């Protein structure tokens, strides 16, 4: 059997079976790779358990948040505004509120019994949970579109230009705090 495997991997371009195993499985890095994989699996499991959304949705929320943070800083710099550490917490507070909304609605959906309506089980909290995380994703997309518009990126990309037509500019504040 070993000879057959050796011939197979050599036909595929490897020097020998050991060369294939090291290339495919990185045997020298087994312990760190198993550790990282185990941690990622554990985080994914608990993320799904606590927030009730798949890890890929959580990663999407995080990527959109980081993109909003980055483009917001670039847009502010472009507008001549300097970095203000007091404003730094705005984004983190928004993310915290978003995650609390998702987590609490998931807890309610999992622990409050739904109603039987015309033979169908309907749980309003499951509906709220789905609505919250979709609402949050859409808000993050809109926030990014606002930043793209501030950066002038919508002029170069037709899809962004079309979407930006539906995004209102943030109101400019006068010195006394009134909106213009």
Which residues constitute the domain of residue 85? 52-170
Counting the structural domains of the chain, the total is 2
Helices (H) and strands (E) in the chain, counts: 7, 2
- Among 124, 127, 126, CA closest to 110: 126
Q: What is the pLDDT of residue 100?
A: 92
Q: Say whether both 59 and 92 belong to one domain.
A: yes
Q: What is the pLDDT of residue 8?
A: 87
Mean pLDDT by runs of 10 across the 180 residues of the chain is 81 88 86 91 86 88 92 88 74 90 93 87 90 92 88 79 70 52
Residues β-bridged to residue 179: 173
Q: What is the pLDDT of residue 23?
A: 87
Q: What is the pLDDT of residue 180?
A: 44
Q: Say whether both 142 and 93 belong to one domain.
A: yes
Q: Say whether both 112 and 152 belong to one domain.
A: yes
Query: Would you say residue 111 lies in a domain?
Result: yes
Q: What is the pLDDT of residue 138?
A: 92
């Amino acid at each position: 059997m070993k000879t057959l495997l050796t011939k197979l991997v050599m036909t595929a371009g490897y020097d020998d079976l050991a060369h294939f195993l090291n290339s495919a499985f990185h045997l020298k890095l087994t312990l760190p790779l198993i550790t990282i994989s185990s941690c990622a699996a554990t985080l994914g499991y608990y993320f799904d358990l606590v927030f009730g959304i798949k890890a890929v949705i959580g990663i999407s929320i995080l990527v959109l948040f980081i993109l909003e943070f980055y483009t917001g800083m670039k847009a502010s710099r472009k507008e001549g505004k300097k970095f203000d550490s007091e404003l730094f917490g705005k984004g983190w507070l928004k993310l915290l509120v978003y995650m609390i909304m998702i987590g609490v609605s998931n807890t309610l959906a999992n622990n409050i019994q739904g109603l039987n309506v015309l033979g169908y089980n309907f749980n309003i909290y499951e509906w709220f949970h789905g609505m919250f995380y979709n609402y949050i994703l859409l808000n993050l997309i809109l926030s990014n579109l606002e930043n793209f518009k501030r950066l002038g990126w919508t002029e170069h990309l037709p899809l962004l230009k079309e979407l930006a037509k539906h995004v209102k500019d943030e109101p400019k504040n006068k010195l006394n705090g009134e909106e213009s």
